[in-house]
Amino acid sequence: MAGYLNASSGSNGMIRLEAPLEALSYTGSSSPAPVISPINPAITVTAQPTLNILSVGGFPVPSYAGARTDAADIVLPNSLPDPINVVVVASNIPVGSQVNATFGAGYGTVTPGTLTGTFVSSTATISITGLSRSGSVTYLYVQTVFAPSPGVAAANAPGLDHVANVRVTTAVGAPSSYAFLRADGSEIPLNRLPTAFLDAYRK
């Protein structure tokens, strides 16, 4: 690239030229001297965070789970003693994150689990006592909350809509869903977040 660039009208500005690494060449002149740099990489995490339920009460989640809303995915015998353990597996979520359970219908007393393993693959066991059964249908959800990856820091602007935490939620046979939280715990509407940030959580 050649030519003359001027950013010194009134007071000195700054000139930055970006190009692919193999094309970093400027033979012209400028005032002030340019900063020549490779193009910034895409601001994304390498892989999406995911959370999945592996088993409930020792019964593995079947491959067809979540296919029908009018049928139970797992049937637990009434004789199954407490606590009922819910085993979850996570990927690309910080080890040490707490995993909790909530109910869309039904009830139980929950003891959260903590993810152990590696960042790429970790597991946790949630214990539930007094889980409603006896012919009733329980809608079970698990979720975890953690700080966003440093890989999206440049797209996570400070201010009112700065993302302090990401909440990942899933149900039996369901894909992970995401919510983005301010420091006070309130949820940030998606239309207020930069596309570069949201792309890290889109499939």
Res. 51: pLDDT tops 90: yes
CA distance 136 to 60: 20
pLDDT score recorded for residue 201? 81
Share of the chain above pLDDT 70, in %: 88
Share of the chain above pLDDT 90, in %: 45
Torsion of CA 149, 150, 156, 161, to 10 degrees: 50
Question: What digits encode the pLDDT tens for the residues 136-178?
Answer: 778 899 999 999 887 777 788 788 899 999 999 999 988 999 9
- DSSP string across 12-61: ----EEEE-GGG----SEEESPPEEEEPPPP---SS--EEEEEEETTEEP
> Among candidates 44, 37, 76, which has minimal Cα distance to 58?
76
pTM over the 0.75 mark: no
pLDDT score recorded for residue 177? 93
Sign (positive or negative) of CA dihedral 123, 128, 133, 136: negative
Question: What digits encode the pLDDT tens for the residues 74-118?
Answer: 888 888 899 999 999 999 999 999 999 999 888 899 999 999 999
Residues 127 and 110 sit within 8 Å (Cβ to Cβ): yes
DSSP strands (E only) in 57-194: 59-60, 84-91, 98-105, 109-111, 113-114, 116-117, 122-129, 139-146, 165-171, 177-181
Higher pLDDT, 48 or 183: 183
What's the whole-number mean pLDDT along residues 47-63? 91
List the beta bridge partners of residue 111.
127
